[in-house]
Amino acid sequence: MRYMMLICGVESDEMPADVFAKLEADTGEWVEEMDGRGVRLFGHRLRPVDTATTVRTRDGETLLSDGPFAETKEQILGFDLIECADLEEALEVASGHPCAEAGTIEVRPLWEE
């Protein structure tokens, strides 16, 4: 079963450089481990929210706005698509991600029949 991990937290420019460097290194290790296990299918870090554009179409008109979907302190920083036996395994995989320590990870099953 496939699950999407949405990695949420504060942007990297809001944390000390050495903290971020460690986070990056630890994330690299996590990716390597999960790729090795065959659990991680795909994933990426995202550019900061100031590069985000939000699109809505209302009555045939396209409305663009600068910024993310929701203005919150924690933002989506990246994502990983994983393939697991069940939620238990997905939660175990997610809890091992270094961003789970400082940020939040939302785990959601893909809508598959």
Partner 1 sequence: MTGRVEGAVATAFHEEWGRVVATLIRMTGDWDLAEESAQEAFARALERWPDDGVPRRPGAWLTTTARNHALTRIRRGRTENAKLKELGTMTGPREPPWRSDPSGVADDRLRLIFTCCHPALPMEARVALTLRTLLGLTTGEIARAFLVAEPAMAQRLVRAKRKIRDARIPYRVPPAHLLPERTTSVLGVVYLLFNEGYAATEGPDPMRVDLCAEAIRLARVLHALMPDEPEATGLLALLLLQHSRRAARQDAAGDLIPLEDQDRERWDHAAITEGTALLDDALRRGEPGPYQVQAAIAACHATARTPGETDWPQIAALYGRLIELNPSPVVRLNRAVAVAMADGPEAGLALLHDLEEGLAGYHLLPATRADLLRRLDRREEAAAAYREALDLARTAPDRRYLARRLDDLRRAD
Contacts to partner 1 by CB under 8 A? 1, 85-88, 91, 108-109
> In whole angstroms, how close is the CB of 24 to partner 1 at the nearest point?
28
> In whole angstroms, how close is the CB of 113 to partner 1 at the nearest point?
11
The answer to whether the beta carbons of residues 110 and 79 sit under 8 Å apart is no
Q: Given the complex with partner 1, which of 13 and 112 has the nearer CB atom?
A: 112
Q: Quick check: helix, strand or coil at residue 46? A: coil
Q: Given the complex with partner 1, which of 31 and 91 has the nearer CB atom?
A: 91
Helix %, strand %, coil % of the chain (to 5) = 35, 35, 30
Q: Given the complex with partner 1, which of 74 and 106 has the nearer CB atom?
A: 106
The answer to whether the beta carbons of residues 54 and 68 sit under 8 Å apart is yes
